[in-house]
Every structure is written in structure tokens, then in C-alpha cells.
């Protein structure tokens, strides 16, 4: 039953207002309006009867400020009409979304009709912390640097911090191709959100999905570099709304790829500047952290529901600067990070996953006996410690020369070479099982004398060292 107020709204929502007061970039100011809600969807009809979508950002008595997702070019203030829909932006979800492609606002771009299903608010709702199920299930990506050292678990959000020219594309594609839960044959569904990336980059991903036969379990949301930047503010939310539907309504395990989050943040900064908000670091708005959290926190699992959402966002570091606000704030929200290193890449090592700054916070609960193997935790810890030592010795060697180093230090350097050349490095189509990864870890570690291995128990040494 409608309450009186809702009835009013239903009537008012059909009302159309002619004329807008101000157009500035993607922002519109409208006055003479009545009963408009905050953060609600509007339709802007231009002189040529084309409908564009927008959203209210600031509402007051008789006036509102709105952003237009498809840009404001060609709008004539006097001839523009505005309709208020009285609801937040929604997308339609149905099982048929699998295998489909949508634009950044969730409208089909594959010449098929929109999915016939329930409409969901793209903003979602925060998961009650008491309803969350703690992620513990190991995902085997087949990449040693990830599985062995920075393990991904189901329901985690683990971004890839990349730089321009680094092969994050190949790594993401390899993860989506190879990711599986050992002992389960159900593959992951993939929700792909492309934000501000180039057309050919998007094609690379889509072709990859097609070639691996995964296309029928992929949903793509594309807001490419030539789309209006404001549209990008919705793209990850639309994608996550679809992911939540697949995971929590249909019980599927979903891998969400968001690329590139830095482009998303650029769009947020653009709107914030247009609205003349007080900027914080590098001109990004003060609420960048909360805004990013509203995206990243939509990963996870819920007690009593079968599906899960695992996020692998790509965050590019401008100038390879990890302290730039976007990677920095991302790192504070996500559960670890996979950092790509230019130096490794230049030496031809693929995947160039930096040994030390990479981290998976949920690794500790997803590995060990019954999940991977009993020696995994100590082995990883020892590899990290030994590799840190390699870095120190290399710094020294660059000053005094390798010949001057004591024998032990030279052994460390040999370990470093083996670690990077054999353990980190692998082919793009090489899918290593976790046992292979761990055995390889022991093989490279065995180049070091056993007295150096402080983080490993005697028993493990007996069982694995030098084997």
C-alpha cells in the first residue's frame, strides 16, 4: 500500500521541468523544482529528444544540482527538459546477464534487449559485519609468486598495483583463466568492469575470455576511455551489483576485475573539483577513502549463503609512486596488494611481482595443513626473509663489487638469481599446482646453507630441505 507521501511522489515523478539554470562541465543546476530526493536518478532530455541519465548531488527547497553521466555537450539550457525518477540508479539483474556486455551505466551494448529481471540499486547496502563469513578458502591461481607468497583466498580483495607499461593485463588474464579451488570443479564467474581503459585493452580481455571458453560466464561493464568520465563513477557499482546478484542470489563464486581504479578516482576528482569541494591530497576529495571503501568492501562472503565475491582490482601507480593517494588509500582498504616492479620487468621476468612490498593479509588463514600444505607458512616466511637479505647484499655489492663479498653473501646472491629466475618467473600459460610451487620454493631455498634458515623448523628441514 502506498503511503500518502509515496502517492504524491509517484505523481510528481512524472512531472517534467523545462529549462536548466547552469551547465558547468558534467554538472547541471536546476531550479523551480519540487520534492526531489538526494542521490536520485534524473533523465535529461535535450532538444533532439535524446535522453541522458544523471543523478542529484545536492537538493534544497526548489533547487538541485545534478551530474550528467553522459556529459553535457550540446545541451541548450533553455531547451533542456528534466524528469525526476524518484529512485536511485538501478540495473536489471537476471541469470541471463552472464555472457553479456553492458556500458558503464549497465545498458546493453551487445544489441540484445535489456535483461528482464529485478532492478537493483547500484549503490548496494553495507554488509552487516556480523553476517560476514571469514574468508579461508585457498584459490589456486597457478602463479607461484601469488600462490606461494601472497596467497589469494575466496572472498578477498587483492589489488594489483601496476605502472604504465607493466604487464598487469597479462597477469589479470592469467588469473581469470587459471583461478580455481582445488577439489572443486565449478569455475569462477567473472564480472569485468573496464573503466577509462582503451578500446584495444578491453578487447584484449574479452578476446582472452572468448579464447579460454569462459565468455558464457563473464559479465562485462565497459566505460572506455572515450566515454564521459562521470559514467565511470557508476561502472564499478553496476558491476558489483551484478556480482552480488550472481554471488548471493544465485550462489556462484564470482571473481570481479576492476580496471583501472585510478581512472575511477580521476573521475571522482573531476566531479569534486567541479562542485568546488575542499580538496585534500593532490586535489582528490577528502572522502576518497570512504568512496573507495564503498567499492572494495563489496567483496566477501556471507554466512549461510553459498556464493562469494573475490575482487582483483587493478590500481595503476602514477609514476610508479606507491604513496600516491589512490594506491595508498586502496592499500589501507584492501586485504593486501600485489605490486609489480619495473626493475624485474626490465630484466624480462614475468610476472614481475615484487617480492617484498607485495602482501596478502588473509594468507595466514587460507594456508597450512588441509588447505595447502603444512610447510607453506614457514617456507613463505623464510623466502621473504632470505629475499630481503638478497636485496641488502645487492645494495652492498653495487658499492664494493661482488668479488669482495664473503662466501655466504655470494650464496645469497645465487639464491636471489634462482628465486627470480625459477620461482617468480613462469610462462603466461604455465599453470603450476600448489605442490609444484612449494617444491620449487624448497628447491631454490636449498641453495642456502641450512643454518641460515631460522624461520623453518628442524622437522621441515629434514622433510623438505635439499629434496
Instruction: Scan residues 122-161 and list those touching another protein (CB under 8 A).
Output: 123-135, 155
Q: How far is the CB of 372 from another protein (least distance, A)?
A: 15
Binding mask 219-258 for another protein (x = CB under 8 A): -----------------------------x----------
Binding mask 277-306 for another protein (x = CB under 8 A): xxxxx----xx-xx--xx--xx-x-xx-x-
Nearer to another protein, 217 or 376 (CB): 376
Nearer to another protein, 60 or 433 (CB): 60
How many other β-carbons are positioned within 10 Å of the β-carbon of residue 8?
A: 14
Evaluated on CA atoms 270, 273, 278, 283, the torsion sign reads: positive
Task: Write out the binding residues for another protein, residues 55-74 only, by CB under 8 A.
Answer: 57-62
Half-sphere exposure of 173 (CA within 13 A, CB side): 22
Q: How far is the CB of 12 from another protein (least distance, A)?
A: 10
Phi and psi angles of residue 136, each rounded to the nearest 5 degrees, phi first: -140, -5
Beta bridge partners of 120: 91
Size, binding site for another protein by CB under 8 A: 81
Distance, in Å, from the CA atom of 434 to the CA atom of 139, rounded to the nearest integer, reads: 10
Distance, in Å, from the CA atom of 336 to the CA atom of 365, rounded to the nearest integer, reads: 13
Task: Write out the binding residues for another protein, residues 343-382 only, by CB under 8 A.
Answer: 356-357, 359, 361-362, 364-365, 377, 381
Nearer to another protein, 286 or 466 (CB): 286
Q: How far is the CB of 213 from another protein (least distance, A)?
A: 32
Evaluated on CA atoms 261, 263, 266, 270, the torsion sign reads: negative
Task: Write out the binding residues for another protein, residues 405-444 only, by CB under 8 A.
Answer: 405-406, 409
Nearer to another protein, 142 or 163 (CB): 163
Q: How far is the CB of 224 from another protein (least distance, A)?
A: 27
Task: Write out the binding residues for another protein, residues 261-280 only, by CB under 8 A.
Answer: 277-280
For 301-332, give the DSSP string. Answer: EETT---EEEEEEEEE-GGG-TTSHHHHHHHH
User: Binding residue for another protein (CB under 8 A) from 19, 77, 88, 318?
Assistant: 88
Q: How far is the CB of 362 from another protein (least distance, A)?
A: 7
Q: How far is the CB of 434 from another protein (least distance, A)?
A: 20
Beta bridge partners of 219: 191
* Beta strands at 308-316 and 152-153: parallel, antiparallel or unpaired: unpaired
Ordered alpha helix ranges (H), 341-406:
342-346, 363-366, 376-400
For 146-163, give the DSSP string. Answer: IIIIS-EETT-B--EEE-
Give yes or no for a contact between 413 and 375, defined as CB atoms under 8 angstroms apart: no
Task: Write out the binding residues for another protein, residues 8-47 only, by CB under 8 A.
Answer: 35-40
Q: List Cβ neighbours of 6 (8 Å cut-off, separation of 6 or more).
A: none
Nearer to another protein, 124 or 167 (CB): 124
Give yes or no for a contact between 85 and 14, defined as CB atoms under 8 angstroms apart: no
Phi and psi angles of residue 338, each rounded to the nearest 5 degrees, phi first: -105, 115
User: Binding residue for another protein (CB under 8 A) from 348, 399, 427, 467?
Assistant: 399
Distance, in Å, from the CA atom of 172 to the CA atom of 81, rounded to the nearest integer, reads: 43
Q: How far is the CB of 456 from another protein (least distance, A)?
A: 11
Nearer to another protein, 112 or 131 (CB): 131
The 3-state DSSP class for residue 459 equals: helix
Q: How far is the CB of 53 from another protein (least distance, A)?
A: 16
State yes or no: residue 388 binds another protein (CB under 8 A). yes
Q: How far is the CB of 109 from another protein (least distance, A)?
A: 27
Binding mask 317-336 for another protein (x = CB under 8 A): ------x-x--xx-xxx-xx
Nearer to another protein, 187 or 441 (CB): 441
Nearer to another protein, 65 or 197 (CB): 65
Amino acid at each position: 500500500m502506498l503511503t500518502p507521501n509515496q502517492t504524491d511522489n509517484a505523481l510528481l515523478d512524472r512531472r517534467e521541468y523545462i529549462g536548466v539554470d547552469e551547465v558547468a562541465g558534467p554538472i547541471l543546476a536546476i531550479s523551480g523544482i519540487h520534492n526531489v530526493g538526494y542521490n536520485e536518478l534524473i533523465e535529461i532530455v535535450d532538444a533532439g529528444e535524446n535522453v541522458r541519465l544523471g543523478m542529484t548531488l545536492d537538493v534544497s527547497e526548489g533547487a538541485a544540482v545534478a551530474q550528467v553521466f553522459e556529459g553535457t555537450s550540446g545541451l541548450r539550457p533553455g531547451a533542456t527538459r528534466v524528469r525526476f525518477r524518484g529512485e536511485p540508479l538501478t540495473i536489471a539483474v537476471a541469470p541471463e546477464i552472464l555472457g553479456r556486455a553492458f556500458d558503464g551505466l549497465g545498458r546493453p551494448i551487445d544489441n540484445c534487449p535489456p535483461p528482464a529481471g529485478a532492478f537493483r540499486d547500484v549503490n548496494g547496502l553495507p554488509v552487516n559485519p556480523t553476517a560476514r563469513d571469514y574468508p579461508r578458502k585457498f584459490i589456486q591461481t597457478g602463479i607461484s609468486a601469488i600462490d606461494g607468497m601472497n596467497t589469494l583466498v575466496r572472498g578477498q580483495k587483492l589489488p594489483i598495483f601496476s605502472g604504465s607499461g607493466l604487464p598487469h593485463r597479462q597477469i589479470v588474464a592469467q588469473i581469470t583463466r587459471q583461478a580455481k579451488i582445488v577439489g572443486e570443479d565449478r569455475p569462477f564467474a567473472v564480472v569485468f568492469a573496464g573503466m577509462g581503459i582503451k578500446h584495444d585493452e578491453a578487447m584484449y580481455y574479452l578476446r582472452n575470455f572468448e579464447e579460454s571458453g569462459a565468455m558464457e560466464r563473464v559479465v562485462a561493464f565497459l566505460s572506455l576511455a572515450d566515454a564521459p568520465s562521470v559514467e565511470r563513477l557508476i561502472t564499478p557499482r553496476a558491476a558489483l551489483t551484478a556480482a552480488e546478484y550472481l554471488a548471493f542470489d544465485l550462489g556462484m563464486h564470482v571473481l570481479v576485475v576492476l580496471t583501472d581504479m585510478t581512472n575511477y578516482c580521476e573521475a571522482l576528482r573531476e566531479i569534486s573539483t567541479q562542485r568546488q569541494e575542499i580538496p585534500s591530497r593532490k586535489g582528490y576529495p577528502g572522502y576518497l577513502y570512504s568512496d573507495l571503501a564503498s567499492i572494495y568492501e563489496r567483496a566477501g562472503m556471507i554466512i549461510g549463503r553459498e556464493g562469494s565475491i573475490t575482487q582483483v582490482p587493478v590500481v595503476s601507480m602514477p609514476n610508479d609512486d606507491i604513496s600516491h593517494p589512490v594506491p595508498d588509500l586502496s592499500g589501507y582498504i584492501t586485504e593486501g596488494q600485489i605490486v609489480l616492479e619495473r626493475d624485474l620487468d626490465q630484466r624480462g621476468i614475468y610476472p614481475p611481482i615484487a617480492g617484498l612490498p607485495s602482501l596478502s593479509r588473509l594468507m595466514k588463514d587460507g594456508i597450512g595443513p588441509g588447505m595447502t600444505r603444512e610447510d607453506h607458512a614457514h617456507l613463505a616466511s623464510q623466502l621473504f626473509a632470505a629475499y630481503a637479505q638478497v636485496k641488502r647484499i645487492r645494495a652492498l655489492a653495487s658499492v664494493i663489487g661482488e668479488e669482495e663479498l664473503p662466501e655466504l653473501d655470494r650464496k645469497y646472491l645465487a639464491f636471489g638469481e634462482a628465486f627470480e629466475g625459477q620461482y617468480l618467473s613462469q610462462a603466461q600459460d604455465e599453470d603450476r599446482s600448489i605442490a609444484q610451487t612449494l617444491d620449487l620454493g624448497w628447491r631454490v631455498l636449498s641453495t642456502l646453507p641450512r643454518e641460515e634458515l631460522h624461520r623453518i623448523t628442524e622437522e621441515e628441514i629434514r622433510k623438505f630441505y635439499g629434496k
